[in-house]
Amino acid sequence: MADGARGGDALSLPDLAAIRAAHARIASSVHRTLVMTCRSLDDAVGARLFFKCENFQKVGAFKARGACNAVFGLSDETARRGVVTHSSGNHGAALAYAAQRRGISAYVVMPSNATKAKQANVAGCGATVRLCASNLAAREQSCADIARETGAVIIHPYDNVDVIAGQGTATLELLEDVPDLDIVIAPIGGGGLLSGTAIAATSARPGIVVYGAEPAGADDAARSFASGSLEPLPQPATIADGLRATLSARTLRALRTCVTSIGTATEEGIARAMRMTWERMKIVIEPSSAVPLACLLERTLDVAGKRVGIILTGGNVDLDTLPWQR
Amino acid sequence: MADGARGGDALSLPDLAAIRAAHARIASSVHRTLVMTCRSLDDAVGARLFFKCENFQKVGAFKARGACNAVFGLSDETARRGVVTHSSGNHGAALAYAAQRRGISAYVVMPSNATKAKQANVAGCGATVRLCASNLAAREQSCADIARETGAVIIHPYDNVDVIAGQGTATLELLEDVPDLDIVIAPIGGGGLLSGTAIAATSARPGIVVYGAEPAGADDAARSFASGSLEPLPQPATIADGLRATLSARTLRALRTCVTSIGTATEEGIARAMRMTWERMKIVIEPSSAVPLACLLERTLDVAGKRVGIILTGGNVDLDTLPWQR
């Protein structure tokens, strides 16, 4: 898939300077989100946890960062044609928001099983929503069709240098607020967040350890990370609807370069970690956000006694169907 | 009911100095909670809202403030006998927490229909829980029995000068963080929070307006406020389980002196406001916390164009039974 005007070649990645530039570019359009702590979760895990609350971010997810950076970086001539993407929801809402801030059109292809809250989020920002089947081929086809019909530029949810740079800005802020972290953990879907997180963290703080956290039912990244080549799953199955996407060559390269280990979590573990976060921290997070904590509770990542930053990806949940009520 | 060692007579109330003293006394045992804002709720209401997030408070509710102030204010000789109270849950947990901080025993009488989350909260702090029928007479009887058997001092959930002073400390912080508020709103159960809020706000900022917010199904305070004499309801009926209690002569006096108006909210309105807060602010609040917003959305309190502080009372919710799923 094309990357839009500034995507670079298929393996290029942002550096720390690009992530810092992204931070300056998007600062007036995104929130500098809170870092929260919770004594009882620390005790449950045996470490000191610092949660970067991107559930409080614009559109309810970190995706606002990457989308704003990509959209704001387009030339005027390119931007005029509008932007298009496919997304399980949060990137779609984020692209809609970024386009609205810039005053251009946005088209968002969403799988028909995306939560109502996420669909409403996208439409609420003035984007045109097109539903399609819940598989990558259908989504890419719809996206390409719209690009051809309208001339809109495709902004990929994660396989895009500017998007990755934008996602990395959350970690810049986290490290400013908590300079002495030993470990940073982010969830993995397509790997855009983890790539930006890992590049930002290891560049800004040499010696820091970066972990990925993935649902066991959608563990293409753990497999690809281990083997060194892309191993997409035909049917990822997880309640973490933001984490069903597949690594690209670009994001695999970032992970192999900057990430130490990838943990996986069971579906039960994800639901339990999500519920614990709601009950103990009193914040609403989506299932994807709970995957790092689930890995810590299921001991697939070792953080004993460490100071650990965790990126909470977002808080867009369908409140009619919660995982522990199914 | 007796007030414990420092309760004063049946109508005495704290002044601003007492609330400031409470703040100093409890500062190391409670959180200075966040003040959050939300553009989309501002737009829904037509005012600028500042939410004091006591859902992030110790034990998940503002009640930690009043309980700590009351327990820390006991003489060593009195404290040694332990403390006892009846509570729909949050004051019980708060008293258990305060007693634990001071290293003394706590006994908590809870109605058998208190949420599981609230029962667990109390037991988790090391208090002895005794369940009883869900009416005031049964609760007061159990409480008196325990006091007689053990010598423990009764710390009433709201009809206590030190408890009221403690609850007022949330408003001191809110006014420090947002000095130019026009209005402050707090929910009403027994009136302890609203009494402390109103005394703190009107003393520290003469000219500020204080509103109460109450479920229409438990509107004894609105009735008593209008008539000037206590008008308890035989069967308060509301999902706002923290607001089923009845004003005392003391809290009615505070309200008649310092509160401008009391709004009421329907059950549907409370559930809707609670859900909107979860969806848009991404925070977990209990039904009681949603009552002020519900009054604004149902226009039973007028805040058009004003800067409005709202005390979010707490976030202890049974996640298995949410109001919009009944």
Cβ of B325 under 8 Å from any chain A Cβ?
Answer: yes
Q: What is the pLDDT of residues B200-233, one digit of tens each?
A: 999 999 999 999 999 999 999 999 999 999 999 9
Residue B4 has what pLDDT? 45
Does residue B10 sit within a domain?
A: no
Do B209 and B321 belong to one domain?
yes
Partner A contacted by B324 (CB < 8 A): yes
State whether A287 and A192 are in the same domain: yes
**Do the Cβ atoms of A117 and B60 come within 8 Å?**
no
Tell me if chain B has a CB within 8 Å of the CB of A326: no
Query: Hey, is the C-beta of B282 within 8 angstroms of any chain A C-beta?
Result: yes
Q: What is the mean pLDDT of residues B231-236?
A: 92
Residues B273 and B215 in one domain: yes
Same-domain status, A237 and A89: no
Q: In chain A, which residue's Cα lies nearest the Cα of B316?
A: A279
Separation between Cα atoms, residue B131 and residue B108, nearest integer Å: 8
Q: Are residues A80 and A188 in the same domain?
A: no
Contacts of A137 (CB under 8 A, 6+ apart): none
Give chain A positions within 8 Å (CB) of B43. none
| Shared domain check, B166 and B146 | no
Residue that has been written with the tokens 């387009």 in this structure: A74
Supply the DSSP string of B242-261, one letter for each residue.
GG-----HHHHHHHHHH--E
The C-alpha of A167 sits at a distance from chain B's nearest C-alpha, in angstroms, of 20
Q: What is the pLDDT of residues B243-267, one digit of tens each?
A: 988 999 999 999 999 999 999 999 9
> Where does a domain end: B154, B176, B206?
B154
In angstroms, the separation between the Cα of residue A56 and the nearest Cα of chain B is 7
Q: B204 and B124, same structural domain? A: no
Residue stretches of chain A with pLDDT short of 70: 1-8, 88, 326
The last residue of one of the domains, among B104, B130, B154, is B154
SS3 B156: coil
Q: Does B106 reside within a domain?
A: yes
Residues making up chain B, counted from first to last: 326
- pLDDT tens, position by position, B145-202: 999 999 999 999 999 999 999 999 999 999 999 999 999 999 999 999 999 999 999 9
How many pairs of residues across A and B have Cβ atoms under 8 Å apart? Answer: 43
CB contact under 8 A, A275 and B117: no
Which of B55, B64, B5, B25 minimizes the C-alpha distance to B192?
Answer: B64
Between vectors from CA B124 to CA B123 and to CA B125, what angle results, nearest 5°? 90
Q: Determine what percent of chain B is predicted with pLDDT higher than 70.
A: 97
Is the per-residue pLDDT at B304 higher than 70? yes
Residue A74 domain boundaries? 64-154
Of residues A257, A292, A259, A299, the one with CA closest to residue A274: A292
Q: Residue A102 belongs to a domain with what CATH number?
A: 3.40.50.1100
B310 contact partners, CB below 8 Å, separation of at least 6? B49, B50, B51, B52, B184, B185, B186, B292, B293
Residue B282: which of A275, A315, A322 has the nearest Cβ?
Answer: A315
**Residues of chain A positioned with their CB less than 8 A from the CB of B275:** 319
Interface test with A, best of B51, B282, B326 (most A CBs within 10 A): B282
| Alpha-carbon separation of residue B244 from A308, B129, B234, B236 (angstroms) | 42, 20, 10, 6
Mean residue pLDDT of chain B comes to: 94
Would you call B319 and A283 a contact, using CB atoms and an 8 Å cutoff?
no
- CA-nearest of A279, A268, A318, A324 to B115 is A279
Lowest mean pLDDT segment, chosen from A259-268, B42-51, B184-193, B317-326: B317-326
- State the pLDDT confidence band at B1, using cuts at 50, 70 and 90: very low
CB-based contact B319 A324, cutoff 8 Å: yes
Residue A142 pLDDT: 94
Same domain, A271 and A317: yes
Kindly tell me if the per-residue pLDDT of B28 is higher than 80: yes
| Domain boundary residue, one of A135, A154, A173 | A154
CB-nearest partner of B324 from A281, A319, A324: A319
Stated pTM of the model: 0.93
Domain for residue B125, yes or no?
yes
Q: Is A284's CB within 8 Å of B285's CB?
A: no
Tally of structural domains, chain B = 2
- Output the six-digit token pair for B154: 């009764």
Tokens of A189: 């879907």
CA distance B37 to B35: 7
Q: What is the mean pLDDT of residues B94-122?
A: 89
